[in-house]
Amino acid sequence: MKNMTLTNIAQACGGRLICPGEPPAAEAAGVVIDSRKAGKDFLFIATKGERVDGHRFIPEVFAGGALGVVCERLPEQPAGPCILVEDSFEALKRIGEFYRRQLSVKVVGITGSVGKTSTKEFVASVLSQKYRVHKTLGNYNNEIGVPLTVLSMPEDTEVAVLEMGINHFGEMHNLSRIARPDICIMTNIGQCHLEFLGSREGILKAKSEIFDFMGEDGAVCVNGDDDMLSTIKEVKGKPPVTFGLSSSCRIYAADIAGRGLLGSEAVIHDREAGINFNAKIPLPGGHMVYNALAATAAGRLLGLTPEEISKGIAAVEGVSGRSHIIELADKVVIDDCYNANPVSMEAALDLLLQADGRTVAVLGDMFELGKEEAKLHERVGGYAVEKGVDCLICTGKLSRHMYEGALKAAEAVEKPADGIHYFPDRESLLEGLAALLLPGDAILVKASHGMGFEKVVEQLT
């Protein structure tokens, strides 16, 4: 890793390097917080979690040939160089920031309330048609995940695509300081994290901290159809690149043709350049068109041709837990269980209704919605009934409100309520789910990550 010697690392994180004799001049081969991944010449950052204290494994990583260790307290007899710090997590951020500044890499930072991960996949697929791309893996999008993603970046990376997620003020400022994005993409401003950010205005303010460490020559891409993002008229003296379905956006889609669960097709226009091209969007759901448009905006800013962008969009693959279509012998499962908020719930229900056959929505609690949580759950239940979902299965304490909202909506339109069901928790759902399903069903599984609905997908598949 370029310039990642123990001396430089200690200076970067404000730590005290303790080692017998002269510190080794070698550069770290990698940086990890998981001792099981600490190979020869790696730097291990010992962190204390809720269940495991990484300091316990310092002897093991030295035995495995680690170059050094960052720690908050020294082992009794350290077998190698240690960098003593006050806070290992803070050191991780500063080390990630240092390494980012060693590489001449373009960084695309992606934030928003909904669609960050799928947008990241589209952007990475498009940009990989021309560049060596490094992208966020899994859900590594917070103050731990972003520096780890940066630190796992190969030296020959040309473009890094980083997903950046927050739920408190100040966190995006810290992530921007680490990532130092050249292009900032904002997908939308929804109603997630209201518990901590208070309002959609608060969400916009918090997520706009992504601009704090963007370079002076940087560019911002925003969803021009989003009422909150459309209020951003200028960032660091430059107007944002807008994308959306409206032809007033610079990058917009027209002639959209849905192909059900097989995705959609559209003609994408770059109004400023006066060009357009056909795009096959392989993932289902109208929101995927926005992801393709965001990727087009990034591609145009980084010099890709329409042909390269179209090829990259067509090559996108689904991510487990994110509108992932699983075809079984007699059923289709839409695995969208990674996370949920009212906007993404409604989008997922719209996707479900594109399926052939009977539609079943297995929905669970949405967390971090603040004072409006009951009302927002009730709204989702009503939306499912109004849109015509055949079977709605609500699960969890908060989803009692979803269930009640569905019953009210059914009563209002004089629709039978025998297709609306409620389970108090995931365990009772797993026991009773099979009895509610039929051959040929299309089944949506969606809830906030803390509900553990991946267990539901496992049972179904």
Can you tell me whether residue 93 is helix, strand or coil? Answer: helix
Give the C-alpha distances (Å, rounded to integers) separating 112 from 118, 169, 335. Answer: 12, 14, 21
Establish whether 399 is an annotated binding residue. Answer: no
Establish whether 114 is an annotated binding residue. Answer: yes
Can you tell me whether residue 267 is helix, strand or coil? Answer: strand
Dihedral Cα 2, 5, 8, 12, nearest 10 deg: 80
Establish whether 176 is an annotated binding residue. Answer: no
Establish whether 118 is an annotated binding residue. Answer: yes
Establish whether 320 is an annotated binding residue. Answer: no
What residue has token string 């226009």? 269
Can you tell me whether residue 195 is helix, strand or coil? Answer: helix
DSSP 48: B
Contact 37, 51 (CB under 8 A): no
Establish whether 258 is an annotated binding residue. Answer: no
Question: What's the number of CA atoms in the CB half-sphere (13 Å) around residue 10?
Answer: 19
Q: Specify the amino acid at residue 55.
A: H
Dihedral Cα 282, 287, 291, 297, nearest 10 deg: 120
Contact 355, 260 (CB under 8 A): yes
Give the C-alpha separation, 444 to 336, whole Å.
7
Contact 116, 187 (CB under 8 A): yes
User: Which phi and psi (to 5°) does residue 44 adopt?
Assistant: -105, 125
Give the C-alpha separation, 391 to 384, whole Å.
9
DSSP 137: -
Establish whether 274 is an annotated binding residue. Answer: no
Dihedral Cα 140, 145, 147, 149, nearest 10 deg: -30
Contact 169, 206 (CB under 8 A): yes
Contact 42, 28 (CB under 8 A): yes
Give the C-alpha separation, 335 to 259, whole Å.
19
Q: Specify the amino acid at residue 365.
A: D
What residue numbers does the annotated binding site for ATP cover? 112-118
What residue numbers does the annotated binding site cover? 112-118
